[in-house]
Chain A
Amino acid sequence: MNPKRTMTLNLTDQEMVVLEELSVQKDLSKTALLRQALRLYQMVDARISRGEKLFFEDPDKQKAELMVL
Chain B
Amino acid sequence: MRETIQIIDSQSGLPIDAEIFDEITLEHFIETQADWRPVVLDAARALSKDPNRATLIPRHYHWDWTRKEAELKMLALKFYGISCQGHLQGIMKVDTVARSCRLPEQQGKPLVYIDYIETAPWNIKLLMEPLGKRQQYRGVGSRLFEAAVLQSEEEGFKGRLGLHSLPGSEGFYVKECGMTPVGRDPHKQNLLWCEFTPEQSRRYLAGE
Smallest CB-CB separation from B1: which chain A residue?
Answer: A2
Complex alpha-carbon distance, A31 and B76, angstroms: 15
Interfacial residues of chain A within 10-32, with CB under 8 A of chain B in the complex: 25-29, 31-32
How many B residues touch the partner, as a band?
A: 10 to 19
Secondary structure of the A side of the interface?
helix
- Additional 8 contacts, C-beta under 8 A, given A39-B74, A40-B76, A43-B97: A28-B157, A29-B156, A32-B156, A36-B96, A40-B97, A42-B76, A43-B98, A46-B70
Tell me whether A43 and B74 are in contact (CB under 8 A): yes
Q: How far is the CB of B157 from chain A (nearest CB, A)?
A: 8
Chain B positions within 8 Å of A, measured between CB atoms, are 1, 22, 70, 73-76, 96-98, 106, 108-110, 154-158
Is residue A9 contacting chain B, with contact meaning CB distance below 8 A? no
Q: Which residues of B are found within 8 Å of A29, using beta-carbon distances?
A: 156
Q: How far is the CB of A54 from chain B (nearest CB, A)?
A: 13
Tell me whether B110 and A42 are in contact (CB under 8 A): no
Number of interface residues of A (CB under 8 A): 17
Q: How far is the CB of B112 from chain A (nearest CB, A)?
A: 12
Complex alpha-carbon distance, A36 and B73, angstroms: 15
Complex alpha-carbon distance, A1 and B74, angstroms: 18
Smallest CB-CB separation from A29: which chain B residue?
Answer: B156
Smallest CB-CB separation from B150: which chain A residue?
Answer: A1
Smallest CB-CB separation from B155: which chain A residue?
Answer: A32
Complex alpha-carbon distance, A2 and B21, angstroms: 11
Given contacts A27-B109, A46-B74, contact A39 B158 (CB under 8 A): no
Partner of A1, one of B1, B70, B98, B108: B1
Complex alpha-carbon distance, A35 and B76, angstroms: 9
Q: Which residues of A are found within 8 Å of B74, using beta-carbon distances?
A: 39, 42-43, 46
Complex alpha-carbon distance, A35 and B154, angstroms: 12
Partner of B75, one of A1, A26, A39: A39
